[in-house]
Amino acid sequence: MLFGAHVRGGSDLAGALKRGSTMAAESIQIFVGSPRAWHTPLISEDRLENWRSEREVYRDIRSVFCHATYLINLASPDAAVYEQSFNCLVINLTNASLIGADAVVLHPGSHRGQGLENAITQLAKAIPLALDASDATCKLLLENSAGAGSSVGRTFEQLAQVIHHTGSDERVGVCLDTQHLWAAGISFLDIKEVDKVIESFKRIIGLDKLGCIHLNDSKVPFGAGVDRHANLGEGFIPEEGMGLLLSHPDLTNLAAVLEVPGESGQGPDRNNIVKAKGLYARGVAARRSFH
Ligand SMILES: [Zn+2]
Ligand SMILES: [Zn+2]
């Protein structure tokens, strides 16, 4: 498993590689645009060149993910919001492809009263169009949701339905966020529950669709239905379950990317990477003792 972190891109995109490397991350996630503004410019040639040469330098960063702009809601019944969302996603995908990212992670959005079924059909129609419009060379990963309000993607079934309706487009996969699982009421306290979660993911969505893990503890209790990340070991998710999940043999080839507040509130840090590796090692040891 590669342990990674969301890092600031900022005006100097390539600086994200150094920031990741400094905290011993082996994978990074960045924004390729403003996280909270519709307007995202294309990455300039200069910055691209810089990025490409810095990637040669920071070879310890083995994979790069881009988190799509938070405003995007392709499930919205509002035509103007949908239009802005679509255009914004196209730019996100274009930029991610330009920097050679592995994937763009996207929140499936909220149906805002139009109903789950309509939203799923609308999303599934939009995704391949956006991938085509951007000539994307990266994947698009739908992130499971914590289940707030009318959000889409709380269950594996909902994510599977979206993928199914894209015609099982091979460019579309899933990102599993541990905090969102917990908040959505999907329990992984012991080995039995962990194995059950992975088995149901495989049966309902398929392991080949799993593109990355978002590794976050939870500021809210089990089933609370809201998206609130805590530093590892400081939230409600018991360490035993988290370790057993990370060390599941089917997840070994994936990146686990931290999106935690960090000790100083500035985002993921070296401490959380160390804790992640500790949880993983604990899980591996516990699994050994079961055999
Ligand atoms: Zn996440
Ligand atoms: Zn989240």
Q: What is the CATH number of the domain that holds 111?
A: 3.20.20.150
Taking a 5 Å cut-off on Cβ, the residues next to ion ligand 2 are: 227
3-state class percentages of the chain: helix first, strand second, coil last, to nearest 5: 45, 15, 40
Which residues of the chain are under the pLDDT cut of 50? Answer: none
- Rounded-to-integer distance, Cα 57 and Cα 205, Å: 37
CA 205 from centre of chain? 16
Q: How far is the centre of ligand 1, averaged over its atoms, from the C-alpha of 68 (Å)?
A: 11
Ligand 1 centroid–CA 19 distance in Å is: 19
φ/ψ (deg, to 5) at 206 = 105, 130
Comparing C-alpha atoms, which of 134, 41, 126 is closest to residue 81?
126
pLDDT of residue 11: 75
Average of per-residue pLDDT values in the chain: 96
The rounded Å distance from CA 38 to ligand 1 centre is: 20
* Cα 228 to ligand 2 centre (Å): 6
* Rounded Cα gap, residues 236 and 249, in angstroms: 24
pLDDT at 278: 98
CB 64 within 8 A of CB 26: no
Ligand 1 centroid–CA 212 distance in Å is 10
Structural domain total, the chain: 1
pLDDT, residue 9, reads 80
pLDDT at 34: 83
User: 272 C-alpha to center of ligand 2: Å?
Assistant: 16
Give residue 227 CA to ligand 2 midpoint distance, Å: 5
Instruction: Please provide residue 28's backbone torsions phi and psi, each rounded to the nearest 5 degrees.
Output: -130, 160
Ligand 1 center–CA 101 separation, angstroms: 17
Tens-place pLDDT, residues 209-263: 999 999 999 999 999 999 999 999 999 999 999 999 999 999 999 999 999 999 9
Gap from CA of 7 to ligand 2 centroid (Å):
15
* CA 229/CA 123 separation, integer angstroms: 26
pTM for the model stands at 0.97
Q: Give the residue numbers spanning the domain of 203.
A: 2-290
Ligand nearest to the CA of 215: 1
User: How far does residue 128's CA lie from ligand 2's centre (Å)?
Assistant: 24
